């Protein structure tokens, strides 16, 4: 059963499936949410993790930037390709997808994300 969104979240209309950080703070502690802002939005990484729901979300005061180096799908060790990241920037926003999981899946979800990022060849 999907949780109903409040009538208005930071000015968003009730007709949109939209969540913000304020909404995330209000949800039950027994849930885990992951904010996807790049390939997590579309590559079905969550399919076998029993994702309970997905919603469009807006992360306020952050924006996307290609400032991480990767050799996974492009680039080389000597010349890595750019990879998407988030940086804090006042008055900006980043639209993405929120994935909801039961808290009992927390370790499994976090391990999957760690494995995914480690395997990507990303350098900080």
Active site residues: 117
17 and 55 in contact (C-beta within 8 Å)?
A: yes
Tell me how far apart the alpha carbons of residues 80 and 73 are, in angstroms, rounded to a whole number. Answer: 10
DSSP structural state of residue 63: E
Instruction: Kindly tell me the number of DSSP H helices and DSSP E strands found in the chain.
Output: 2, 4
121 neighbors 72 (Cβ within 8 angstroms): yes
Reference 89, options 67, 108, 110; nearest CA is 67
């Amino acid at each position: 059963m999907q949780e109903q969104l409040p009538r208005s979240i930071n000015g968003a209309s009730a007709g949109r499936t939209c969540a913000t950080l304020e909404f995330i703070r209000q949800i039950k502690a027994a849930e885990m949410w992951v904010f996807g802002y790049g390939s997590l939005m579309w590559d079905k990484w969550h399919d076998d993790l029993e994702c309970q729901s997905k919603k469009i979300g807006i992360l306020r005061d952050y924006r996307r930037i290609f400032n991480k180096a990767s050799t996974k799908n492009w680039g080389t060790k000597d010349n890595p390709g750019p990879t998407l990241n988030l940086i804090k920037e006042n008055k900006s926003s980043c639209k993405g997808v929120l994935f909801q999981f039961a808290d009992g899946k927390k370790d499994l979800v976090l391990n999957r994300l760690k494995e995914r990022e480690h395997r990507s060849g990303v350098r900080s």
